[in-house]
């Protein structure tokens, strides 16, 4: 299975755009699928440069209902006239953030938006049980909550009858794709921001598929600590637990977007060569 990053926070190629967002083009050998579409049309421009034809996408998945993952789906639906877009978003639900607000400033809207003419492209699978969307391809809800969640989730909210409450991220799904490695059958997992926590996400998959081997996990980890920032103890402990978990279960980790430089550097020291950094234009096989 070949994965190509169409948009990410960073790029090492001057011909490719970067933005705070994520989009991944996945080729299984049987189908093509798109995970997220960044903030706007930038992912589509990069797809052209990278030689990835969005009209060949069989279906798309929105990992969660935030603008930096869902903002480009209008562009996708304009280019690809037939592929459905799967989302756990509930129509009308709005999401907000205070992460960049100054004292006294109102929370900013960060939710899902799509033009009315494209609403018929959306598919709303069951949020409580795995849903098979293709041969060996599943959308899986997060049902395990035994491990920690990222510290900065506390700046993210959902509107409930006009009042803001802490987001529980029931709009976040895990994309699971069955694959083969070295003659062994297993599964590769994708979850672009991991607001529910990476360990909780993997354990949720194991809850529904207890006997399957998890080969890899791709996405941001929502440890957005940049160089020079002091990582809070809660997230430091979370990263140590993640590294130990990945090593013990022999899981490869591919990350970028909301995994900041300070967090990546810290994880890299303790993950024993199981961690890989993503940029716009990165191509990797899982």
Per the confidence metrics, is the pTM higher than 0.85? Answer: yes
Residue 100, pLDDT > 80, answer no
The arithmetic mean of pLDDT across residues 217-245, rounded, is 96
User: Which residues, in sequence order, are CB contacts of 245 under 8 Å at separation 6+?
Assistant: 198, 199, 202, 251
Q: How confident is the model at residue 106 (pLDDT cuts 50, 70, 90)?
A: confident
Residues 1, 181: Cα–Cα separation, whole Å: 10
The arithmetic mean of pLDDT across residues 175-186, rounded, is 93
The pLDDT value given to residue 168: 96
- Structure-block tokens of residue 225: 């600590």
Residues 175, 95: Cα–Cα separation, whole Å: 22
Tally of helices (H runs) and strands (E runs) in the chain: 6, 18
Residue 286, pLDDT > 90, answer yes
Residues 133, 61: Cα–Cα separation, whole Å: 10
Q: Is 71 exposed, middle or buried (0-12, 13-18, 19+ CB in 10 A)?
A: buried
Edge-to-edge order in the sheet of strand 184-190? 131-134, 137-141, 173-181, 184-190, 213-218, 252-255, 275-277
What domains lie within the chain, and their CATH numbers?
2-285 (3.60.15.10)
How many angstroms separate the Cα of 216 from the Cα of each of 77, 108, 180? 29, 34, 12
Residue 181, pLDDT > 80, answer yes
Q: How confident is the model at residue 101 (pLDDT cuts 50, 70, 90)?
A: low
The pLDDT value given to residue 105: 76
């Amino acid at each position: 299975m070949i994965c190509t990053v169409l948009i990410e926070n960073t790029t090492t190629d001057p011909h490719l755009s970067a933005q705070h967002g994520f989009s991944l083009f996945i080729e299984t050998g049987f189908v093509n699928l798109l995970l997220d579409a960044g903030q706007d049309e930038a992912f589509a421009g990069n797809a052209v440069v990278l030689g990835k034809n969005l009209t060949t996408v069989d279906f798309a998945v929105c990992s969660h209902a935030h603008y930096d993952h869902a903002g480009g789906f209008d562009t996708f639906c304009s280019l690809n006239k037939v592929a459905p877009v799967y989302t756990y978003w509930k129509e009308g639900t709005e999401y907000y953030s205070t992460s960049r607000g100054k004292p006294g400033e109102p929370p900013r809207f960060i939710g899902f938006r799509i033009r009315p003419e494209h609403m018929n492209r959306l598919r709303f699978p069951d949020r409580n049980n795995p849903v098979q969307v293709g041969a060996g391809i599943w959308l899986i809800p997060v049902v395990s909550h035994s491990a920690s969640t990222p510290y900065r989730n506390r700046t993210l909210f959902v509107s409930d009858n006009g009042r803001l409450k802490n987001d529980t991220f029931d709009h976040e799904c895990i994309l699971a794709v069955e694959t083969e490695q070295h003659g062994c059958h297993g599964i590769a997992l994708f979850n672009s921001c991991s607001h529910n926590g990476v360990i909780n996400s993997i354990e949720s998959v194991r809850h529904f598929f207890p006997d399957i081997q998890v080969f890899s996990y791709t996405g941001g980890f929502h440890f957005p600590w940049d160089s020079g920032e002091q990582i809070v103890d809660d997230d430091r402990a979370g990263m140590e637990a993640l590294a130990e978990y990945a090593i013990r279960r022999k899981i490869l980790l591919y990350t970028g977007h909301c995994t900041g430089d300070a967090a990546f550097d810290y994880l890299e020291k303790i993950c024993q060569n199981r961690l890989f950094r993503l940029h716009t234009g990165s191509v990797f096989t899982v």
